[in-house]
Amino acid sequence: MLVHLLKFQPSLPTLGLMLYLCHMLFFFFSTAELIQNGRLLTLPLEAGDLHSLLPDEDRRRLYVAMKDNLLSTSLDDITQNPRKLFWPASPDRVQECLMAGKDSELDCANFLRVLQPFNQTHLYVCGTGAFNPRCAFIATSIFHQAEYQTLSYSQTECGKGKCPYDPFQKTASAVVDGELYAGITSDFMSRDSAFFRSLGRRHVIRTEQYDSTWLQDAQFVRVAPLSETDNPEDDKVYVFFTERAQEAEGAAGKVLYSRVARVCKNDIGGQRSLVNKWSTFQKARMVCSVPGPDGLQTHFDQLQDIFILHGKDKKNPLIYGLFTTSSDILNGSAVCVYRMEDVVRAFKGNFLHKEGPQYKWAEFTGKVPYPRPGTCPSSTYGSYSSTREYPDDVIFFSRTHPLLQEHVLPLGERPLLVRVGVHYKFSKLLVDRVEAVDGTYDVLFIGTDSGLVLKAIHLPREHGQSQEVTLEQLQVFQHKSPVTAMALSKKKWLFVGSREGVSQLALYQCELYGQACAECCLARDPYCTWDGHACSPYMPTVRRRNARHLGEEEDPLTQCVRQGGEEQIQRFHQV
């Protein structure tokens, strides 16, 4: 174990100095140390290309979507009894794929790209099928039958509009009420970026095709259903992505913007125009930037991951966004946090408008038709029971004005966490809300393209800004492969995927912070507390009993204060 001091490298400093430096201190563990300490289990996998991890808490299984394989293993110990469903592309398709000039190893295989829980008994899974996407309902019970099985072509269905052809196009999907919402490129050449809804009883519906005002080279990151009111007719599905920004294009060439877009769940398209196309699709820019020395903002323009943290207020989740810079020279990564109400406000703002090909995008100042485009049809609160009944001018305006003017800015108008000029970039993000001895913390788990997991918290500071504190850096993949998937299970395990396989990491290991109260407190890990004898996991109910038993005088934090650094410990209390 190494204790890193970011800026200083003192020999064993005094406790006072330790306290002073405490927000520059974090713990680093190598893969070997993590395994030795019993904190990490690894399941090496040969298939490579691990795209997604899906925990099934009821059955205690973890599903793993890879190249040509769907895996099921134990959620309690991934090394126990992994089961494999082999699902290759059909040999004919592989031949055609090779004839089309694609590479057999890199492209002409079945890269699983959609892995969704469908109902209590089935998963819905799609793969690229050597540039011929296929999907299948897979009963979770099949994994009981044998250790190794094969899914035949006849057990699959057409995956067009559900899964991309090209495995290297970023894709996002979600099953909502038995329907699949998918952000994909839906053609062989990957020119048709689209957001689809399929499966279920309703007609397939999508974004306008080859219309750059709707989507342009979109790389999809996350699809999520979010309700904003108590009226289910108003429910929307959100999609987060990065695309080429048509409103910024010009002399500078290609400019990337990250976006949040949404559609109404009850959208069934227009009647005369936008037939089987979304009639409520709208999008806004999400900004994550820092001011540079010249006063210009440096933008983290490429969205990599989104984590939606639902708190007590179900209508107002926090949206954590993980961004990187598209430049490889800078190697910049950042986490920005957005409030749902700020997202919703952007969608209530003004529209952007383009008069013609030679004009620039500008605020639309004319009369917006009624009902305002983007409004979900509601027979309870409005006079339209379906989007097909909307007046032609509403549909026409929707088709030509999908873009809103207002930007969605992060909390505090700056990132929560920034890394620049390091030898890695962030790739995945998860957040766990933890009740600690001194309040509630959001603990960030960040995967990097160098096989690391960073564990970090943020502490509020004066002037309303927050300060990031890295608690640990954990090398969960020995060969430093990029983290491609992460999942959390019941506040205990973090599952991490890369082309090396799956790693299962305990979220905390309190005893490693040391034998003394001060060391335990200094680690600032919200999962841990000094219980009077040892650094141990904080259990909200157990703690209360202990505290009563020990009495106020024996409060562990008070103990630590007595040992030194009063001022620092007070900060713990302020949070």
What residues make contact with ligand NAG under the rule CB under 6 A?
118-122, 137, 331, 421, 423-425, 449
Q: Give the Cα separation of 466 and 154 in Å (integer).
A: 55
In whole angstroms, the minimum distance from the beta carbon of 302 to ligand NAG comes to 13
The residue to which tokens 């920034």 are assigned: 418
Per residue in 355-370, is it b (16+ CB within 10 Å) or e — as a string? Answer: eeeeeebeebeeebbe
In whole angstroms, the minimum distance from the beta carbon of 421 to ligand NAG comes to 6
Q: Which is nearer to ligand NAG, 204 or 539 (CB)?
A: 204
Q: Which is nearer to ligand NAG, 257 or 424 (CB)?
A: 424
In whole angstroms, the minimum distance from the beta carbon of 118 to ligand NAG comes to 6
Q: Which is nearer to ligand NAG, 122 or 571 (CB)?
A: 122
Residue 378 gets which letter from DSSP?
A: B
Distances 186 to 271, 389, 555 between C-alpha atoms, Å: 24, 29, 60
In whole angstroms, the minimum distance from the beta carbon of 139 to ligand NAG comes to 8
- 515 class by beta-carbon count within 10 Å (0-12 exposed, 13-18 middle, 19+ buried): exposed
Please name which of 168, 83, 164 lies closest in space to residue 129, comparing C-alpha atoms.
164
In whole angstroms, the minimum distance from the beta carbon of 52 to ligand NAG comes to 20
Cis omega (within 30 of 0) for bond into 232? no
Q: Which is nearer to ligand NAG, 138 or 560 (CB)?
A: 138
Q: Give the Cα separation of 429 and 337 in Å (integer).
A: 12
The residue to which tokens 């035949």 are assigned: 152
Tokens of 456: 């970090």
Q: Which is nearer to ligand NAG, 93 or 425 (CB)?
A: 425
The residue to which tokens 């006849």 are assigned: 154
In whole angstroms, the minimum distance from the beta carbon of 163 to ligand NAG comes to 17
Q: Which is nearer to ligand NAG, 195 or 426 (CB)?
A: 426
Task: Please provide residue 218's backbone torsions phi and psi, each rounded to the nearest 5 degrees.
Answer: -75, 140
Give first-to-last CA distance, the chain, whole Å: 28
In whole angstroms, the minimum distance from the beta carbon of 322 to ligand NAG comes to 15
Q: Which is nearer to ligand NAG, 10 or 200 (CB)?
A: 200
The residue to which tokens 């699709």 are assigned: 281
